[in-house]
Amino acid sequence: MIEITGLTKVFGADGSIRALDNINLSIADRDIFGVIGMSGAGKSTLLRCIALLEQPTAGTISIDGQPVQGLKNAALIKMRREIGVIFQGYNLLMQRTVIKNVMFPLEIGRMPKEAALKRAMELLELVGLSDKAQAYPSQLSGGQKQRVAIARALAVKPKLLLCDEPTSALDSLTTRSILDLLKEINKELGVTILIITHEIGVVRAICNRVAVIDNSNLIEMGETSEVLEHPKSDITRLLLGQTQGGDR
Amino acid sequence: MTTKIIFMLLEGIGGTLYMTLLSTLFAYLIGLPLGILTVITGRNGIKPCRKLNMVLGWIVNIGRSIPFIILIVALIPFTKFVIGRTIGPTAAIVPLVIAAAPFIARLVEQSLEELDSGIVEAAKTMGASNWQIIYKVLLPEAIPSLIRGGSITTITLIGYSAMAGCVGAGGLGDIAIRYGYHRYQSDIMIITIILLVIIVQVIQCIFNLAANKIDKRNR
């Protein structure tokens, strides 16, 4: 589904901030792939590059066999519509009802209103919030807001769902239910999921494969069970809580 | 109080409201696009453009730095060109609009800047065009704040319209200056002040009600 080769991203006019350094990874169709790292490691930049919000400085990204770096204007907008993204802060439109939030991506894609409404209701059913269709986001709990965000991201039937710290603002019980929902979506709809997180528990709960990013570099990658049971790097052990952090 | 004076005061209220409301309306036609353009061309905007952003910033700052009383006088030739005369409430609308537009641009800029940048980001990932981000995300999400800004603008313009009164624009300010200042009739001046306070209170109240009714964040 995703092939990334030599992905490098530098920021700053003089290229002084290297957020990603020569990242190579591939994510299979229908996989649930985790990227874990400390804050500032570069994992969010990785997601932003895949979500087509940042242009890579060097390297290539292809999604579903199609190279996506360097896309502009209409082609860029078209490609973005094929990827769903959810965020830590939900990013719902506060002045729109839940159903109108879910309809938003369909509305900007100019789907006829009745069809969009029908599709949005199906999605609210899927995330278990049919009864909240006419509520406003401010009336929902954090977990419910993330469910609405998931429904919204799935509205355009993406093959790929990118999740940027989807549970980092939620309590452990709610985290569990959101992760179960993502797992169900992966299984039922065959959506490939990429999760960026700093919580090892998230990786353990649903990721089949995991990549560890530290200091802009990909440190290790493999089957979740393999990486968690036999961590090869200090940073992985640190994320697992096996060593003292000290003065990193 | 004679009916003549009551009639004059009523006419004054009419003049003040006419100048204020019409100039607010026209000023928004200029100030709203100006404010939106400033935000989207800004460094973190959806279409950054440093040069245009700087020019817009200058225009707004120049407009805001000229004291209104001086602006009225300076604009007399322009007002005469646009309206055909320089005296009366309609003529006062020209300098009022020109004074208020940059003021509104700044208020609009603030309303849009205070939105969570995450919602624009999310709209982008859904494939929204820049136009769609403006009219489906930025403006609807900022509406409660824009309405509150509208009350500040309207009330500021009531104050400005009183200043326009001293160059013969009519309205309550004109009455206060003519009777209270030139003829030492403090009673009439006090009445105009009370009337202005009431007008300001009513306008503030209407805008607050509207903003609270529309805002879906506090339910």
**Per-residue pLDDT for A244 more than 60?**
no
pLDDT digits (tens, 9 = 90+) for B5-30: 999 999 999 999 999 999 999 999 99
Q: What is the pLDDT at residue B173?
A: 87
Q: Residue A104 pLDDT > 80, yes or no?
A: yes
pLDDT digits (tens, 9 = 90+) for B127-155: 999 999 999 999 999 999 999 999 999 99
Give the closest of B122, B140, B214 to A87, CB-based.
B122
For residue B118, the chain A residues in CB contact (below 8 A) are 87, 89, 91
pLDDT at B1: 65
The Cα-based distances of B45 to A119, A158, B134, B157 in angstroms read: 32, 27, 11, 30
Residue B219 has pLDDT above 80, yes or no: no
Interchain contact B218–A (C-beta under 8 A): yes
Asked if A95 lies within 8 A of B215 by C-beta distance, the reply is yes
* A77·B129 Cβ contact <8 A: yes
CA distance linking residue A170 with residue A167, whole number of Å: 5
ipTM score: 0.89
Q: Quick count: other Cβ atoms within 10 Å of Cβ A158?
A: 20
A contact residues 109-138, partner B, Cβ 8 Å cutoff = 109, 136-138
Question: Does the pLDDT of residue A248 top 50, yes or no?
Answer: no
Work out whether strand A58-63 and strand A2-11 pair parallel, antiparallel, or are unpaired: antiparallel
Q: Is the minimum CB–CB distance between B128 and chain A shorter than 8 Å?
A: yes
Select from A136, A135, A158, A145 the least CA-distant residue to A52: A158
Q: Chain centroid to CA A246: how far?
A: 30
pLDDT of residue A247: 47
Amino acid identity for residue B112 in this structure: L
Residue-wise pLDDT for A11-65, tens only, equals: 887 778 888 999 999 999 999 999 999 888 889 899 999 999 999 999 999 998 8
Give B38-96 pLDDT, tens digit per residue.
999 999 899 999 999 999 999 999 999 999 989 998 999 999 999 888 888 889 999 99
End-to-end Cα spacing for chain A: 35
Chain B residues near residue A137 by CB distance under 8 angstroms: 216
Q: What is the pLDDT of residue A211?
A: 94
Interface test with A, best of B117, B125, B139, B215 (most A CBs within 10 A): B125
Structure tokens at A245: 């952090």
What does the pLDDT read at residue A239?
87
| pLDDT beyond 70 at A246 | no
Q: How far is CA B25 from CA A4, A166, B36, B219, in A?
A: 53, 44, 17, 30
Q: What do you get for the CA distance between the two ends of chain B, in Å?
A: 48
Partner B contacted by A187 (CB < 8 A)? no
What's the mean pLDDT when you consider all of chain B?
A: 92
> Which residue among A80, A91, A136 sits closest to B127, beta carbon to beta carbon?
A80
Nearest CA in chain B to A77: B127
Q: Residue B191: is its pLDDT beyond 50?
A: yes
> What mean pLDDT comes out for the span A214-219?
91
Query: Per-residue pLDDT for B98 more than 70?
Result: yes
* Predicted confidence band of residue A243 (pLDDT cuts 50, 70, 90): low
Chain A contact set for B215 (CB, 8 A): 95
Nearest-5° angle of CA A168, CA A170, CA A176? 95
Cβ–Cβ of A80/B141 closer than 8 Å?
no
Give the pLDDT band (50/70/90) at residue B186.
Answer: confident
pTM score of the predicted model: 0.89
With a cut of 90, say whether residue A158 has pLDDT above it.
yes
Q: What was the pLDDT predicted at B153?
A: 96
Do the chains contact at B124 and A136, CB–CB below 8 Å?
no
The verdict on B182 touching A (C-beta cutoff 8 Å) is: no
Q: Are A147 and A175 in contact (CB under 8 A)?
A: no
Burial class of residue B67 (count of CB atoms within 10 Å of its CB; 0-12, 13-18, 19+): exposed
Chain A, 140 to 179: residues with Cβ < 8 Å from chain B are 152, 156
- Give the mean pLDDT of chain A: 91
- Sign of the Cα pseudo-torsion (A11, A12, A17, A21, in order): positive
